């Protein structure tokens, strides 16, 4: 994690509820994996962290985790591209959230 952002991260999330705490725990674990040199594979690392921590995250939570890692880790841009690539747009401006969909009428 970028040291200069670590304090900001902790301050922003000091009053988190259980939903948010699960997101934070998994995001921190993913960033630990990245710090240890694991290959940047967003989906795999989020799944691995969730499996280790037994948080039972949802797709929406995974997108928040991807967003946090993208913002707070040195490999954030690479992580964001990896996450978005699995949803068909590696160069998306933000994080693609698989839990949000659009219904179009004909």
* Any domain includes 106: no
pTM summary value: 0.82
pLDDT by position in tens, the chain (length 106):
666 666 777 777 777 778 888 998 999 999 999 999 999 999 999 999 999 999 999 999 999 999 999 999 999 999 999 999 999 899 999 999 988 776 777 7
Q: Are 78 and 84 in contact (CB under 8 A)?
A: no
* Any domain includes 40: yes
Per-residue pLDDT at 105: 78
* Any domain includes 66: yes
* Any domain includes 99: no
* Burial of 83 from C-beta contacts in 10 A (0-12 / 13-18 / 19+): buried
Per-residue pLDDT at 1: 61
Question: Nearest 5 degrees, angle CA 96-CA 6-CA 93?
Answer: 20
- Give residue 66's domain range: 3-85
* Any domain includes 103: no
Per-residue pLDDT at 32: 95
> Per the structure block, which two tokens stand in for 64?
């928040």
* Any domain includes 102: no
Overall domain count for the chain? 1
* Any domain includes 17: yes
* Any domain includes 42: yes
């Amino acid at each position: 994690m970028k040291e200069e952002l670590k304090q900001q991260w902790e301050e922003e999330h000091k009053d988190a509820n259980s939903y948010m705490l699960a997101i934070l725990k998994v995001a921190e674990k993913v960033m630990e994996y990245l710090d240890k040199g694991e290959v940047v594979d967003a989906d795999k690392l989020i799944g691995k962290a969730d499996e280790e921590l037994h948080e039972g995250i949802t797709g929406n939570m995974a997108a928040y985790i991807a967003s946090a890692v993208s913002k707070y880790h040195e490999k954030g841009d690479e992580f964001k591209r990896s996450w978005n690539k699995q949803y068909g747009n590696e160069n998306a401006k933000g994080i693609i959230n698989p839990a949000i969909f659009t219904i179009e009428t004909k």
